Structures are given as structure tokens and as C-alpha cells.
Chains A and B, each alone.
Chain A
Amino acid sequence: MEQDANRYAVQMKGISKYFGSFCALDQVDLEVQKGTVHALLGENGAGKSTLMNVLYGLYQAEEGEILINGKPAQITSPNKAIELGIGMVHQHFMLVEPFTVAQNIILGSEKTGALGTIDTKAVRQEILELSEKYGLLVDPDEKIEDISVGMQQRVEILKALYRGVDILILDEPTAVLTPQEIHELIEIMHKLVADGKTIIIITHKLGEIKQSSDWCTIIRRGQYIDTVKVSDTTEEELASKMVGRAVNLHIEKGEAHPGEEIFRIEGLTVSDSRGIDKVKNLSLSVRRGEILGVAGIDGNGQKELVEAITNLVKAKGGTISILGQEIQNTTPLNTINHKISTIPEDRHKHGLVLDFTVAENMVLENYHKAPFSKKGVLQLGAINKFAKELIEKFDVRPTGCEGQLARGLSGGNQQKVIIGREVTNDPDLLIAVQPTRGLDVGAIEYVHRSLVEQRDKGKAVLLISLELDEVIDLSDRIAIIYDGSIVDVIDAKGADENEIGLKMAGGGK
């Protein structure tokens, strides 16, 4: 018993959590050994974040008990959690942008002198010591808004460590990082664990679990499935436990049969709202029947590139042409009329009107065309019929959801609505921006298959993604974007991840 208490940093027993009558967690157990990295694996909506929010005191469980270091604990708030030595780094960072790194780290737990002053020197020293110890190198005087996302994450981790935390929860920590940064993060995690800290990492990326974790607990639809030793298992096994059926992790695609070049960008320059050039003299071209993947780290001009093609912003220079016709600096409608369809990065912002029904969303671009309207009057019958067809064809769940608000669908099904709509437009060029962001394994499989299908139908596909694996697996050619320009275009066959990663970071060549 005594030994048991010492072995586990966290024990959660029979945790149940309800939202209304919806059961988010049903008697879930989690036991995390001290000094280990423990992965929490599950699809979106499986309840992994909910479970961690219970542990961090953001939610109260209706049922079950929590033991921290063998002692029963009532974690009623994040403050209580921190007192117990539990820290959490959220997916979306909670940092004050105009403040410096040091200011952010001490924020909320400032050690003040007699007059309420902060001993900046001592604080800096403490932060430097911490960061050196774990390889979390940051400059304490830099402002958050000036440092990279990877750095910001380190600040978040330091923030937790500064508060004396020894159980650290990381919520999808690699979602925003480059391959190199992921590597560094895993190293940092190992250093922390070697120092006796315990880490729980929430993720749905199987490769990272293999690299980083000792144990893995899988939950599915709020149910505890299994806890496995990572070294004794395979990615396939983890995936099938997570999804509940066998999944194919590798994209099956045949040989590409590229046709003539139909889409061309020449010397494109786009500046952002502050007048800073984000896309600089960028050129690329896409042929029929191929997928051109654009690989790059977030913020290297991908967003502005897409905005220029879709005519959401004006280009400062250069041309964008499809089938020989220039479309730059016109209107979004003109882009659509030239048979360019886009699966946008942010489906909630650009892809869907969440408060419209699924049927309304499916005709969002074609509502003014026959048969969906006649003389300016919507033909609800035709719209619903079309929606029903698409729901069936693209397997949107739940079936018969055409009258429901798009808001009520899961992320994967929302994406299916968008894909269904864009593909049904029968485009010449299909642009997919981060098409699998936030989707679970099953839905990712589906999206990938759809894109390959479009390619095989002779469409030109432009894939822009921050997931390097996705770009490498899916594309026929890879264009690497760095600082607003395409620095290299390589054949996807035999592409080397590290080499691409280096070029994405501005190195190589």
C-alpha cells in the first residue's frame, strides 16, 4: 500500500462527468506513475481534454475520486491544482502578448518586496536557472509577440515550473510546432522526467507517442479502453484501439498521371494589413491530375497566399492565372466562377455559416443558381433534395441532418459538408488548406481519400498544410515555402523529412 502510494503521481478512479444529459466521461480510470511520460490518446471528443480539465480543477467530476501522490484530493480550482503541484499547458497559450517572457512567467505569482516591488534581477536569475536546467532556452527580456510559437510554448512550460509544479499536463503540445521544435520538445520532456517530474501529454499523434511516452492510456467516447506500455505496442495497435476498428495509417494512392499545367502563380507579392510583405515574389504551378503540397511552418505566407488566390485580399504584384486567365485582384466570386474551389483552413470562420442549416451551407455558393432558386426565390425543395444527396454521398452523420444547424455537427462531419460542397462544384483546381486540422483518425483517412480521388479525376489539387507528414504522404510534388517564397520544389517520392524540415526553417540550399 505504502509502495503503491509512492509509485503513482496521479490516480483517477471511476471518473464520470456529465454535460447536461450527455455523458462525457463514464467511469474512466487513469494511473500515472511518477517520473514517466504518460500519453492520453483518443479521438476528438473522446473526453481526453475533459479528463484533464477535471484533473486541473476546471471541471468537477460527478463521480469518482482523485489521488495525488497517493493522497485523496479535492481539486476544486486550477489554483488548488497548482497548490498540489499540477500544472497545465493549454493548446491555446495563455500569455500576455506585449509583456516580456519574464513578466509572463511570474504573472500571478509575483514575489514582491516590502514595497510591493518586484526584484527583477532575482526573477531573471531564477528563470535562467530553470531554463538551463531543462534545456528550455528562452530570452527572459524578449516580448511574447516577438518570439516564435515554439518559444511561447517553452514560456508556458516555464510558467508551470516556476510555480513548483511536478506534474505537468501538456494539451496537444506539438500541434503548432515544426519537426525540429517537436524534437526539441521531446528532449525537454525527457529531461523533465529524468529530474523526477511527471508528464501527461494529450495527443492524437501516434508517432509522437512512440517517441516520447512510456505509457499510454486510450479512451474512446468517454470510456476507458486500455493502458499499454508504449514500447510493447505498435502504432497500428494504438490506432485501432483509439478508433475501435482497424485503420489504415498509410495513404493508398496509385501513380499520378499529371496532365497539362492549368494553374500558375507568377511573381506574386502580397502584404498583410500592416503593409509588410508576407508573400514575396512567389511562383508555383499545378498540373491536372497531381497534388502539389506546400510545406512550411505557420506564418511563412501560406495564409496570404490562399487569401490572394481566393481574392480575399489584393495582390501587390504578380499574376495568378487558371487556364490562361488572370484572376488576381478581382472578387471572391470571380475565383469561384473560374472553377477554383477551396477547402478553407478555418472551417468555422470561412467554411461554414454555423447558424445556417446543413442544407443552407451546402448551397452557400450556389444558392442563386438553378435549381436552388427561381427568379430570386429560394426553392427549398430542391435545396433539401440536393442536401440529402450530398449527405448520403459524403456520409455526413447523423443522416437526415439537412435541417440541423451546422453548429451541431462534429468537426469531421462539418468538414465533410465543406468537402462535399466544394467537390460537387466540379472545380478545375481544388485548394485544400489544412484539411485535416482537428480531425480524428477516421475523418483524416476520409479527407485524404477524397483528395486523392479528386486528383485521379484529373483535377489539379493544391494542398497547403502545416503537417509535414501529411504533405509528404499525400503530395506528388512538394513546394517548400519559407518567408513568403517557394524555396524549392521536389518530388515527393523519396523525399527526406529532415531535409524538408531544414528548408522549411530557412536552412539548406
Chain B
Amino acid sequence: MDTVQKWLKKPLTSIVISIVLGFVVGAVVLSVAGYNPLEAYAAMFRGIFSKPKYMAQVVIKSTPLILTGLSVAFAFKTGLFNIGAEGQYIIGSVAAVLVGAKLSLPPVLHFLAVVLAAMVAAGLWGCFAGFLKAKFGINEVITCIMLNWIALYFNNFMIQMPWLKKPGAEASYEVQRSAWSMVLGNYKATEEGRQALLANPTLADVVLKTDLNYGILFAILAALLVWFVLNRTCKGFELRSVGFNSDAARFAGINVNRNIMHSMFIAGALAGLAGALQMTGVMPHRISMLAAQEGYGFDGISVALIANSSPIGCIFSGLLFGGLKYGGSAIQSTTGAPSEVINIVIGTIVFFIAMSTMFRVLADKLAKRGGKRHASHTDSGN
């Protein structure tokens, strides 16, 4: 009994149970709608794992999600709810395109300049919400939501600029090739490289047919770095203490307001990095008119929740999320069931994780029964 309890109390357990429950609910929905859930899920998993190309696509799709997830998780760990990852992502993308399209620099260096610009711009964007909270006590959730829309219209405004708008398109110029980050990007662009890659079916599949890029490495690196900063540095100590108990932190001489701004800057920079990697790594390498939010930032909230705000966990939950989104589209093409069912699955997972205290309550209930058993039983109890 004790082992079951302990097991139930682990965060990872509730995450796994939530994921399973998510699939169960999805299956119920599919069955009710008259589709065979097993078939649908089989199609989804085939859509993820059956070809290296698919797996590469999942990785590509997951990269920005891992980073926006990290952005939200980092802010969570420091007591802030960064609902503004969406806007920070957009600002990051705009900055990335400005530097990527308008500046000419040698390869690698150009890429780094793009990344840096995006992170700084998005960081400042996030920091602004932090500043408003620190200075005037305005809740960051409110300002972040506002800033998301301001970012979206700023994006659309920039595209109207004649020096940025590509003639004939509702989009900007592309980021220059020198700043692209695709694996073997230049090589596969040459005829010679194309032929050489075609000779190897796997490589051809993964490298030629997808935008496989180095972004995932940056995402993993960022996760490791965030973990290190939070858990092993003075800055992280400050940030976490402010997050857990800002009163005690202030009492201990820690500058709470400055830390709020730092936290929002870092969170913004992480979301901005997602934008930069998307612009440099994935076709069409440009920003376009947005009618609505793209959702990278909002998906980041789910990713962070599924990861229980663990930076390392964000890598896996980002991959899970990307996998479900990408593989889910195979459900529709194979079984005809609407792929929206995947959104139901994801929503259910997040729902159960948000209710994860439930599992702890369950553990306590079990413990109670155990306790009752070893006491002589007289009261039927509740």
C-alpha cells in the first residue's frame, strides 16, 4: 500500500496517468463518433514513427514548442505566469526577419546575429510586462495578453513597410540564406549534393524532404542552461526565492522587482529564440500577415504544464506535443476521423495535469484506508 501511495505522489506518475487518460478520453470521443479508436491511434503512431522523415518533422515541429514551453516554465518557477510567450515569439520573429533579411553577414555569424537580435528584442518585450508589474503592480497576465495583440499588429504593421514587404505577397522578404540553419542546407542546395544525398534513401528522406535544422540542439541546450541557471546559480536562487515567497526574499535583502524584470526578460528571450529558430530553420523563412495568434506561446503553456515546469521535462513534453500535433494529422487522412480529436486528447491531458492534486488526494485516501485497517474499524467514516 505504501509503495502505491508513494508512486501516486510522484509528479511523473500523475503526468503519465494524465497522458493515458487523455488518450482514453480521445478514444471515447472517437468511438462515440463512430470511428475505431485503435485504428485512429495506430494511424497516428504510424504517422510519427513509420518513416525517419516523419520523425524529423516531429522534431522540427517540436523545436519552437520546447522553447515557448521553457519560457512559460521558467516564469512559472519564478512565480510569474508568462502568458505572453505568444507575443514574445512574434517579436522574436520580426526581429529575426529584420536582421536576417536586411543585413548581410557571413554564414554562421549572420545566424548568430539573428538569434541574438530576436532574443534581445523579445526579452525586452517580456521585460516590459515585468517592468509594469514591478513598478506599478499591474498583473503580468493582463499586460501579457495585451502585449500579445500589440505584437501581432506590430507584425502586420511591419509587413506593410515597403522596404520589408515582398512585392506580390502578404509577407516579408525571406531571411537570407547566410542565416539559414538547416542541416546540410548549402550542400543540399547544390545539384551535386542533391545527387549524393539521393543515393542514400534515409538521408534523402530526412535531409532533402524536410527542413531538418539545428534548432533542436539549441532548444535542448537552452533547456539544460535554464535548468543550470535556476538550480545552480545565485541568480536562479534569487529568482526561485522570489517565485516561492517574495516576502521572505525581500526580507532577506533580495531585490524582488529587479528579479521580476530579469525573469520576464529571460522568459521573453526564450520565446524569442523560438521565433528566430523558426525563421532561420523552417520554410518559408519569413513573417506573414497574421489574422489570429499562431498559438506557439499558448501551446507553450500546455507544454510547461505537462512538464510540471521542469526545464528538462519541457524537452520531452515539447516532443510529445509536437508528435501529437504532427501525427494527429495522419488520423484524418487515414481513417477520416477529424484530426481535431488530437486537440481533445491534448486538452484532456492538460486538464488532468492541472487537477493532479487529485492523484495526491487519491493517495491519501488509500493511505487512510490502510490506516483504518491497522486501527480496529468502528466508524464507517466518509
Residues of A within 8 A of B (CB): 16, 18, 20-21, 23, 60-64, 310, 312, 331-333, 335-337, 342, 344, 349-356, 360, 364-365, 367-368, 373, 376-378, 380
Contact = CB atoms under 8 A, between A and B. Distances in A.
Contacts of B240: 353, 356
B234 A364 contact: no
B253 A377 contact: no
A349 B232 contact: no
Contact of B253 (A18, A60, A354, A365): A365
Contact of A378 (B233, B252, B253, B370): B233
Given A331-B253, A336-B253, A365-B253, A378 B245 contact: no
B253 A350 contact: no
B372 interface: yes
A21 B370 contact: yes
Given A21-B367, A61-B379, A368-B234, 12 more contacts: A21-B370, A23-B371, A64-B378, A331-B255, A332-B251, A332-B252, A332-B253, A336-B253, A353-B249, A356-B240, A376-B235, A377-B234
Nearest to A18: B371
A355 B237 CA distance: 12
Contacts of B251: 310, 312, 332, 342, 344, 350-351
Nearest to B251: A350
B245 A355 contact: yes
B218 interface: no
Contact of A62 (B241, B253, B378): B378
21 contacts: A16-B375, A18-B368, A60-B382, A63-B375, A63-B376, A331-B255, A332-B251, A333-B253, A342-B251, A350-B248, A351-B251, A353-B245, A353-B248, A355-B245, A360-B237, A364-B241, A365-B252, A373-B233, A373-B234, A376-B233, A377-B232
Contacts of B250: 312, 332
Q: Which 5 A-B pairs have the closest CB atoms?
A: A333-B253, A18-B371, A20-B367, A350-B251, A364-B252
Interface of B: 2, 232-238, 240-241, 244-245, 247-255, 364, 367-368, 370-372, 375-379, 381-382
A342 B232 CA distance: 27
B246 to A, nearest CB: 10
A373 B235 CA distance: 11
Contacts of B367: 20-21
B245 A352 contact: yes
Q: Classify the interface of chain B: helix, strand, loop or mixed.
A: helix
A63 B252 contact: no
A350 B255 CA distance: 14
A352 B237 contact: no
Contact of B368 (A20, A312, A344): A20
Contact of B381 (A23, A60, A350): A60
Contacts of A336: 252-253
Contacts of A354: 244-245
A360 B254 CA distance: 14
Given A62-B371, A368-B234, A376-B233, A352 B379 contact: no
Contacts of A16: 375
A18 B379 CA distance: 12
Task: Determine which residue in B253, B255, B372 has the highest number of CB atoms from chain A within 10 A of its CB, and name it.
Answer: B253
Given A18-B372, A367-B234, A349 B247 contact: yes
Interface centre among B237, B241, B244, B372 (most CB of A within 10 A): B237
A362 B99 CA distance: 47
A15 B287 CA distance: 70
Contact of A18 (B236, B244, B375, B378): B375
A20 B241 CA distance: 30
A63 B241 CA distance: 43
B363 to A, nearest CB: 9
Contacts of A378: 232-234, 236-237
A218 B32 CA distance: 62
Nearest to A360: B237
A21 B2 CA distance: 9
B233 to A, nearest CB: 5
Contacts of A376: 233-235
A353 B368 CA distance: 30
A415 to B, nearest CB: 14
| Highest count of chain A CB atoms <10 Å: which of B2, B249, B251, B379 | B251
A333 B255 CA distance: 8
Contacts of B378: 62-64
Contacts of B372: 18, 62
A356 B253 contact: no
B241 A356 contact: yes
Nearest to A365: B252
Given A18-B375, A20-B364, A378-B232, A349 B248 contact: yes
Contacts of A373: 233-234
B248 A351 contact: yes
A148 to B, nearest CB: 26
Nearest to A61: B379
B123 to A, nearest CB: 19
A337 to B, nearest CB: 8
A378 B241 CA distance: 14
Contacts of A61: 379
Contacts of B371: 18, 20-21, 23, 62
Contact of A353 (B244, B376, B379, B382): B244
Contacts of B238: 367
Contact of B248 (A21, A335, A352): A352
A365 B232 CA distance: 16
A364 B237 CA distance: 9
Contacts of A335: 253
A337 B375 CA distance: 55
B241 A350 contact: no
A75 B231 CA distance: 49
Nearest to B365: A20
Contacts of B376: 63
Nearest to B242: A353
Nearest to A22: B371
Contacts of A23: 371
Nearest to A335: B253
A18 B235 CA distance: 42
A482 B377 CA distance: 56
Nearest to B370: A21
A76 to B, nearest CB: 9
B370 A62 contact: no
Contacts of B382: 60
A376 B237 CA distance: 10
Contacts of B368: 18, 20
B250 to A, nearest CB: 6
A337 B252 CA distance: 11
Contacts of A356: 240-241, 244
Contact of B241 (A331, A337, A353): A353
Contacts of A377: 232-234
A377 B229 CA distance: 8
A62 B232 contact: no
Q: Which residue of A331, A344, A378 has the most chain B CB atoms within 10 A of its CB atom?
A: A378
